Amino acid sequence: MKKQTQPKFSFCHRTRREFLHTMGGGFTSLALTGMMAKDGFLKQQLHAADGQTAWQSPMQPRVGHLPVKAKHVIFLFMYGGPSHMDTFDYKPALYPLDGKTIDVKTFGRGGHKNQGRVVGPKWDFKPYGQTGKMVSSLFPNVAKHVDDIAFIHSMTADSPIHGSAMLMMNSGQILSGRPSLGSWVNYGLGTVNQNLPGYVVMLDQSGGPISGAKNWTSGYMPASYQGTVFRPKGTPILDLKNAHKMDVSEQQVLLKHLDHFNRGHLADRLDNSNLAARIASYELAYKMQSSAPEAVDVDGEPDHIKQLYGIDQDRTEDFGKKCLLARRLVERGVRFIQIYSGGAHNDQNWDAHGDLKKNHDFHAGNTDKPIAGLLEDLKQRGLLDETLIIWGGEFGRQPTAEYAEGTGRDHNAYGFTMWMAGGGVKGGVSVGQTDELGSQAVTDRFHVKHLHATVLSLMGLDPNDLTYFYAGLDQRLVGVEGAAPIHQIMA
Amino acid sequence: MKGVTLSCVTQYLPKAALVFLGFAMIYPGQTWFALSAPVVIQGDHEEHFRDAVLPVLSEHCLKCHGAEPKLRGGLSLVDREAMMRGGDSGPAVDLNEPSKSLLLSMVSYKDEDHEMPPNRGKLSSESIQALSDWIEKGLVIDSKAMSEAIEKIEGAGNLYDNSINEKTRQWWAFLPLQKPNLPAVGPNPWSEHPVDRLIEAKLSQASLLPNEPADRASWIRRAYYDLTGLPPSFADVEAFLQDSSKDAYEKVVDHLLASERYGEKWARHWLDLVRYAETNGYERDNPKPETWRYRDYVISSFNEDKPYDRFVREQIAGDELDTVTPETLIATGFHRLGIWDDEPVDADQAYYDGMDDVISTTGQAFMGLTIGCARCHEHKIDPIPHEDYYRMLAFFNNTFKNIREGQFKKSPYTLNTTRVIAPDKAVQKHDALRQALQEQTQQLEKQVEAYETRIVATFSKPEKEDARDDRTRRTMIRAKKEKVLTKAELQDLEGIEAELKALKERKLPSLDRALVIQENGPKPAKTHVLLRGNAHSLGQEVQPGFPAILGFDDPVIPSPTEGAQSSGRRRVFADWLVDSNNPLTARVIANRVWQFHFGRGICRTPSNFGQNGELPTHPELIDWLATYLMEHKWSLKRLHKHIMLSKAYQMSSQANPRALEQDPENNLFWRFDMRRLTAEEIRDSVIHLTGNLNLQMGGPSIYTPVPDEILATASRPDAAWGKSSPEQQNRRSVYVFMKRSLHEPVLKAFDMADTDSACAVRFTTTVPTQALTMLNSAFLNDQAQSFAARLEAFSSDSDQQIAEGIRLVTSRQPSESEIALGRGMLAELVQELKLTHSQALQRFALMLMNLNEFLYLD
């Protein structure tokens, strides 16, 4: 094993770092710059590249600052904004108010309002687990796992509008151009499996979320840290298969000769590590072609596992496959996996402006069994301890109706629920509260950045010390003021 | 109250976050700048500070209360002003009543919510006494010892002097621009070219020698790509190799600068800097209208060698110049290229986001300053006060229509204003045509009326009553006309009616429009400092002004002339930018021109000439080039030529063990750095190899074929991307549609600039997914197919095909062993894997497109 320089997160050598971040050619090609700004590493890369020494990938695993509680994250993104008072945030006072117009301050897509017609919760709740946690009938299977889950009922975000709220949940800011959570994790930790991307995104069958790739962008970081879209059917990754049906044996011939040519070219330019890096990247690409399809091949899984995820049923087949695929990726060392429930627009995701009942029955029905299966499967394999599961959307919904008619609820960023389970998270815990209507968080209010701080901390990264130098300052996922993790849910 | 770190942030917290988190504190604002200069103190007090106080501070305090960015609670203890100013909890010391100082109360653990240092227990009583004495004695600080102490504390940050004083005025980029004296030429000069003399002087100080010249084939390939983004043909190379005339190099440079490909290549550099894209970003990411005209404007500006000062003035204030033309109006599209949210969560804040986009971009692109850092508070590193940001904003603060929350649905946000830019003649012709059509219509209508009057005249009295209603009358006329009119008349009427209908359906050709800036009239809006950058926290009113550190007089804004549509403020700002006394503008652009020839700027942070940018390796060289540019009427082509005819530009990229050991980063320019082609160069070169590159210039952007996998990531996959004809798809990359939420995949794979903010230096990443794109994508394989077809058309001889392939890819003659290698590859594919010769040749062509030699320049 080659000697490795430990990553350095803290502020140091500022001007040097800016140079590393911005210089055009040379070293930046390894994309490690922010992490490895120590002179020793730099010189090593510039000097020791003799064409023989193994190339170091920008994604090589690194050690974080804190004890590692979770090695992987599976973020189950309920795009569109699931209603908290209809799922996990039990509001008994809301039922009898159904249809009544009350004074309540709301801010959603329809702007600021001071009054609204209450829509009573459309599902019944009942207690589950040792803690007697109240869960609605939308999630009967997930409910069986409440003793492994920590609920945060007092989430807040800066925007009740999808576009900016999605950016905030994924990248910490309502403004476009920032790296997403998965990029930060991979920037901080690298990935242990070089033959697979470290950051995988799986989209809903109906399409991507609004703003598309902005949700898994690496923003101002190098593109090496952006999410890679994985498809559970066909070829999992773009360009993994040859568009002209060139088969492996032909490709081997091609690569062999390419290597000859490239090594000849390198012979006079041994000092240029970029050339060696490029040669090495073909080897990795070649391996990726076999390791990625192997990873997504869920057909070989036994039937009882498929049933566990609901793959045997039409409704749950798609999301179930993605959850099972997520487990397989976790087993293969992928750091960060995000699965979208819901895509495109309106009722194709959790954005229930019209018929709440129809919308949430549909999306919860598609995902309840697969999510419960994922929790159970990870647990029985001993993987839940090292895998952090996050469930939630970009915001919640209002207790009141959006329109004069119907049961649809508008967006709500003043208070909503998210939950986490697994790696480093206490089970059977609920923190924070919304008011009795569920209209806003009132106790132990947490912001998206606290959620992000929790994820980073559990992964072994200090959220206040994980920085990336850009536009004249050390940027952090959690913002310039820093943020503390949510200790109440951390084991 | 929760502590807030006062760090620089280019984008501030939106109002909602401030409210949610209880951060809505008011910053003490203007008192900052009114503080008096430090008091001079005697030596024994300094000694006390060094011996008794500093050790305590170093051990317990400075890690969090030293310098940015680690500052906690906004409090820094590094100098008197900072302590008296205090942090979020108020001034740290009270020199009038030292014992009541907050600092002492905190370290004494008097109030359990305010205990410092936290978590590690109370300081010893001696330490507390030392601090108390220190304040008592007037808070004397030995700043040198303090700086040294801070530097020793890991993670405490560096100290920057961000006040405006004699020292910071001496920062290299703020000094007046003067032509440097050239070093004397020694007995055996490397070169007499001024650029070389400046470089050689530093090399010889380090006892290093500049590299030998690159071979001619490498040089011409380097020159072609640098100026046009495309390789020389093999014939171009051969001609150059044969050319023994003295001005052989110069002829090549002149030829390339005259090529229209030059504008296409260099426009892309500029477009990166001005965050060019053709959509608005955010949820809908709607297209901006007519944006491509701005792109074409930039291309033609480079091609015409438009003086850079004019180029700057047109973009900032093209609508306020003495002569306003369609071209200068298109140029103002610069202001409208940024992202904006058409559904902002906080409309006031969104308004200032829009302003910030322009100010930050202007600051970085034209001035090389990160002015955006002063949006929420004073710049933490550079001497740019908070107020300076808003003084600059005042120049622009009349150009955006604000919209109130909730109104976005009713009134579309007006950042996408377009304006007719057709030449007067076209407008006149258009008006004349419209008038002619109108007259013709009226005439015909009169004829119809005449017939109708005759018919109506035959109506009975009750019929006439009914005919008062228009619709009924028309029906009645229709029913009766055959009785009243002769056959010929009927025919005539029908003819007239048909003609009328055709006339009405005829659409006038639309006049050309452009995306432009437009002000809200000649009277500018008031501009206030925004406390902590919060749009809802107005501070004092400010007037337009230049960054104070540069020492210019306050601008005088001429009163708007009669009929003026704007305040005239931007014109004043633009004139100042290109004023011969402005130390920044010429340096910044000269450094960029160098950057795109040598792979890095002389200052490696080309958009940040401030104190946390990199120091230039050759400041005199920047000054030389900047003055050269101004002396040559801001002609960029002259500057290119000046640089490219230097020996420095001719150097080879070969390593030299001694120099590599001594200067591995090539700070001294002992060699020419290799570079990878840019994303656009890669895509264009690949198409160029097939002979199918379509060199059509200008016009609306084109769409390359994008795989379904990419489209599927959009929320509306069907509407996400357009379709162009195959010929159009083969146009140069600068014409590919720039959509913020969906980047062209090949360009994206090779590190095209992110479009959300100004990009001065692109990344050059090397990742396996690039290899997948180059090996497997439909684009590469299709092009390889065409390339192979070209080789087959060239010759039926296999060796000839291999040789021609290598020639086209590398612009040089292949070696025997390379041809043998190719021969071996084809044989293996044909004999062992049973491919046809054509199929095998496609694989070979694809292999060539993957060569490092194809993607990297020596």
The whole-angstrom separation of Cα B160 and Cα B147 is 10
Q: Is residue A332 part of a domain?
A: yes
B1: pLDDT strictly greater than 70? no
Q: Do A482 and B707 touch (CB under 8 A)?
A: no
B769: pLDDT strictly greater than 60? yes
Q: Which residue has the higher pLDDT, B315 or B10?
A: B315
Average pLDDT over residues B420-439: 89
Question: B-chain residues within 8 Å CB-CB of A467?
Answer: 69
Q: B 366-425 residues with CB below 8 A of A?
A: 370, 372-373, 380-381, 405-406
Give the confidence band of A222 by pLDDT, cuts at 50, 70, 90.
confident
**pLDDT score recorded for residue B74:** 77
Closest CB to B767 among A224, A467, A481:
A224
Q: A 11-70 residues with CB below 8 A of B?
A: 11-12, 14-15, 18-19, 22-26, 28-31, 42-43, 46-47, 58
B405 and B345 inside one domain: yes
B136 and B72 inside one domain: yes
Average pLDDT across chain A, whole number: 86
Average pLDDT across chain B, whole number: 87
Question: A-chain residues within 8 Å CB-CB of B818?
Answer: 261, 264
- How confident is the model over A142-179, as pLDDT tens digits? 999 999 999 999 999 999 989 899 999 999 998 888 99
Q: Do A254 and B846 touch (CB under 8 A)?
A: yes
Q: Which two tokens stand for residue B11?
A: 């984008």
Give the confidence band of A38 by pLDDT, cuts at 50, 70, 90.
very low
Q: Which two tokens stand for residue B620?
A: 């005199």
Q: Which residue has the higher pLDDT, B657 or B224?
A: B224
Give the confidence band of A253 by pLDDT, cuts at 50, 70, 90.
very high
Give the confidence band of B38 by pLDDT, cuts at 50, 70, 90.
very low
B290 and B383 inside one domain: yes
Q: Is residue A277 part of a domain?
A: no
The whole-angstrom separation of Cα A37 and Cα B341 is 36
Give the confidence band of B579 by pLDDT, cuts at 50, 70, 90.
very high
Under 8 Å between Cβ of A238 and B710: yes
Q: Is residue A243 part of a domain?
A: no
B409 and B436 inside one domain: no
Q: Is residue B333 part of a domain?
A: yes
Under 8 Å between Cβ of A369 and A383: no
Q: Is residue A237 part of a domain?
A: no
Interface test with B, best of A176, A245, A269 (most B CBs within 10 A): A176
B460 touches chain A (CB under 8 A): no
Of B555, B579, B603, the residue that ends a domain is B579
Backbone angles phi, psi at A102, to 5 degrees: -130, 165
Give the confidence band of B69 by pLDDT, cuts at 50, 70, 90.
low
**pLDDT score recorded for residue B119:** 65
Average pLDDT over residues B572-586: 98
Q: How far is A159 from chain B (nearest CA, A)?
A: 6
The count of C-alpha atoms lying within 13 angstroms of the C-alpha of A378, restricted to the half-sphere facing its C-beta, is 31
A17: pLDDT strictly greater than 60? no
Closest CB to A473 among B7, B360, B847:
B7
Count of domains observed in chain A: 1
The whole-angstrom separation of Cα A38 and Cα A45 is 11
Count of domains observed in chain B: 4
Where is average pLDDT lowest: A226-235, A311-320, B402-411, B844-853?
A: B402-411
B837 touches chain A (CB under 8 A): no
**Residues found in chain B:** 858
Maximum mean pLDDT: which of B46-50, B411-415, B693-697: B693-697
Give the confidence band of B26 by pLDDT, cuts at 50, 70, 90.
very low
Using a pLDDT cut of 70, give the percent of chain A over it: 88
Average pLDDT over residues A196-214: 91
Q: Do A274 and B764 touch (CB under 8 A)?
A: yes
Q: Is residue A240 part of a domain?
A: no
A132 touches chain B (CB under 8 A): no
B848 is in which domain, residue-wise?
776-857
Using a pLDDT cut of 70, give the percent of chain B over it: 91
- How confident is the model over B167-220, as pLDDT tens digits? 899 999 999 999 999 998 878 889 999 999 999 999 999 999 999 999 999 999
B580 touches chain A (CB under 8 A): no
The whole-angstrom separation of Cα B639 and Cα A149 is 65
B301 and B401 inside one domain: yes
**pLDDT score recorded for residue A34:** 31
- How confident is the model over A94-142, as pLDDT tens digits? 999 999 999 999 998 878 889 999 999 999 999 999 999 999 999 999 9
Q: Do B604 and A163 touch (CB under 8 A)?
A: no
Question: B-chain residues within 8 Å CB-CB of A289?
Answer: 772
Q: Residue B672: helix, strand or coil by DSSP?
A: coil
Pairing of the two strands A416-422 and A149-156: antiparallel
Q: Do B614 and A25 touch (CB under 8 A)?
A: no
Average pLDDT over residues A28-51: 31
Q: A 390-429 residues with CB below 8 A of B?
A: 413
Interface test with B, best of A47, A59, A158 (most B CBs within 10 A): A158
- How confident is the model over B133-169, as pLDDT tens digits? 898 888 888 877 887 777 676 554 445 778 898 889 9
A338 touches chain B (CB under 8 A): no
B416: pLDDT strictly greater than 50? yes
**pLDDT score recorded for residue B461:** 85
Where is average pLDDT lowest: A425-434, B340-349, B485-494, B793-802?
A: B340-349
Angle, CA B491 vertex, CA B488 and CA B495 arms, to 5°:
140
Nearest-Cα residue of chain A relative to residue B658:
A47
Question: B-chain residues within 8 Å CB-CB of A246?
Answer: 776, 781, 843, 846
B444 and B380 inside one domain: no
CB pairs under 8 A between A and B: 349
Look-up: residue for tokens 């008091």? B39
* CA quadruple A270, A273, A275, A276: dihedral sign: positive
Judged on CB neighbours under 10 Å (0-12, 13-18, 19+), B108 is middle
Beta-carbon contacts of residue B214 (< 8 Å; ≥ 6 apart): B222, B650, B651, B652, B653, B672, B858
**pLDDT score recorded for residue A59:** 63
Average pLDDT over residues B394-399: 89
ipTM for the predicted complex comes to 0.79
Question: B-chain residues within 8 Å CB-CB of A30?
Answer: 766
Where is average pLDDT lowest: A7-16, B128-137, B649-658, B661-670?
A: A7-16
Under 8 Å between Cβ of B504 and B466: no
Question: B-chain residues within 8 Å CB-CB of A12?
Answer: 154-155
Average pLDDT over residues B563-579: 95
* CA quadruple B49, B55, B57, B63: dihedral sign: positive
A227 is in which domain, residue-wise?
72-232+298-489
Q: Residue B300: helix, strand or coil by DSSP?
A: helix
Using a pLDDT cut of 90, give the percent of chain B over it: 59
Q: Is residue B239 part of a domain?
A: no
Q: Is residue B311 part of a domain?
A: yes
B802 and B847 inside one domain: yes
DSSP B90: B
Q: How far is B632 from chain A (nearest CA, A)?
A: 28
B404 and B287 inside one domain: yes
B653: pLDDT strictly greater than 60? yes
Instruction: Count the neighbouring beta carbons within 10 Å of the beta carbon of residue A84.
Output: 27
Nearest-Cα residue of chain B relative to residue A166:
B283
Give the confidence band of B354 by pLDDT, cuts at 50, 70, 90.
confident
Q: Is the pTM of this model over 0.90?
A: no
Q: Is residue B252 part of a domain?
A: no
**pLDDT score recorded for residue A60:** 67
B299 and B412 inside one domain: yes
Maximum mean pLDDT: which of A356-370, B403-417, B760-774: A356-370
Average pLDDT over residues B352-361: 92
Closest CB to A212 among B21, B158, B715:
B715
**pLDDT score recorded for residue B5:** 29
B563 and B449 inside one domain: no
A114 touches chain B (CB under 8 A): no
Q: Which two tokens stand for residue B133?
A: 């004495």
Judged on CB neighbours under 10 Å (0-12, 13-18, 19+), B562 is exposed
- Closest CA relative to residue B312, chosen from B564, B592, B532, B727: B592
**pLDDT score recorded for residue B39:** 35
- How confident is the model over B374-389, as pLDDT tens digits? 998 888 889 999 999 9
Q: How far is B41 from chain A (nearest CA, A)?
A: 32
Q: Do A241 and B353 touch (CB under 8 A)?
A: no
CATH of the domain at A306: 3.40.720.10
B801 and B845 inside one domain: yes
Q: Is residue A245 part of a domain?
A: no
Under 8 Å between Cβ of B849 and B795: no
Q: Is residue A222 part of a domain?
A: yes
Nearest-Cα residue of chain B relative to residue A253:
B825
The count of C-alpha atoms lying within 13 angstroms of the C-alpha of A442, restricted to the half-sphere facing its C-beta, is 7
B466 and B568 inside one domain: no
Interface test with A, best of B674, B713, B781, B858 (most A CBs within 10 A): B713
Distance of CA A467 to the CA centre of its chain: 19
Question: A-chain residues within 8 Å CB-CB of B7?
Answer: 473-474, 480-481
Q: Residue B576: helix, strand or coil by DSSP?
A: helix
Of B556, B579, B602, the residue that ends a domain is B579
Instruction: Count the neighbouring beta carbons within 10 Å of the beta carbon of residue A144.
Output: 15
The whole-angstrom separation of Cα B481 and Cα B267 is 67
Under 8 Å between Cβ of A474 and A468: yes
